[in-house]
Amino acid sequence: MKENDRASSGRSGWGFLFFLAGFAGALAFGWLVFPELLYSEKSQPVNFSHALPDHQGSGCEDCHAFREDGSFTGIPRVAKCMECHESPLTESPDEKRLVEEYIQKEKEIPWLVHAYQPDNVHFAHAPHKARGMECTQCHRDVSKETKTPVFRENRLTGYSRSTMKMDQCEKCHAEQGASNNCEICHK
């Protein structure tokens, strides 16, 4: 009788271990694997190195300018690249693609933008620029990037993984005395 008891408690001990292993596996799937499956990885149509001395212009605003009315021009058009890349300067396959696929065909480059917010969010650079903010307060530091990082797109929503989240916008707004009324950011 005693022997039997010991044997069955031994078996349920193993059962518990299997349960734990399964449980840990499910957690790992939910936490680690599933979020990865949710994103597809894309790379830029043409690599652009901010770090090249030839790509620094007279500063960031040489390519990312603000218009008279304060609005932001965003990413430069292909005409900017054409100023120097009318024909290839290097052996780089990216530059070959730039020249043949975009400059010669007069097509704009469909850049992937890590920062783009969902359509229901309103954002403008102007009021932030007026407060003298650095680009790196909201963006990754691109200045030493020789290769743009992989773009991770949410398969369900189509949005970039690296957009600024609502709590980050609100945290700074609270700290700097800017409004956190919903209508400020959601029109």
CB under 8 Å, gap of 24 or more: what pairs does 75-82 form?
A: 75/111, 75/113, 77/108, 78/102, 78/103, 78/106, 78/107, 78/108, 78/109, 81/109
Tokens encoding 75: 């990413």
Q: Confirm or reject binding of residue 69 to ligand HEC (CB under 6 A).
A: no
Q: Confirm or reject binding of residue 51 to ligand HEC (CB under 6 A).
A: no
Closest contact distance (angstroms) between CB of 132 and ligand HEC is 9
Question: Phi and psi of 159, rounded to 5°?
Answer: -90, 155
Closest contact distance (angstroms) between CB of 41 and ligand HEC is 15
Classify 118 in phi/psi space as left (phi over 0), alpha (psi -120 to 50) or beta. beta
Q: Confirm or reject binding of residue 174 to ligand HEC (CB under 6 A).
A: no
Residues in binding contact with ligand HEC, number by CB under 6 A: 71
Q: Which of 85, 153, 154, 161 binds ligand HEC (CB under 6 A)?
A: 85
- In angstroms, how far is CA 1 from the centroid of its own chain? 65
Q: Which of 39, 133, 152, 154 binds ligand HEC (CB under 6 A)?
A: 133
Closest CA to 151 of 160, 159, 143: 160
Ranges within 5-24 binding ligand HEC (CB under 6 A): none
Ranges within 88-127 binding ligand HEC (CB under 6 A): 89-90, 92, 94-95, 98, 111, 113-118, 121-125, 127
In the complex with ligand HEC, the residue whose CB is nearer, 1 or 52, is 52
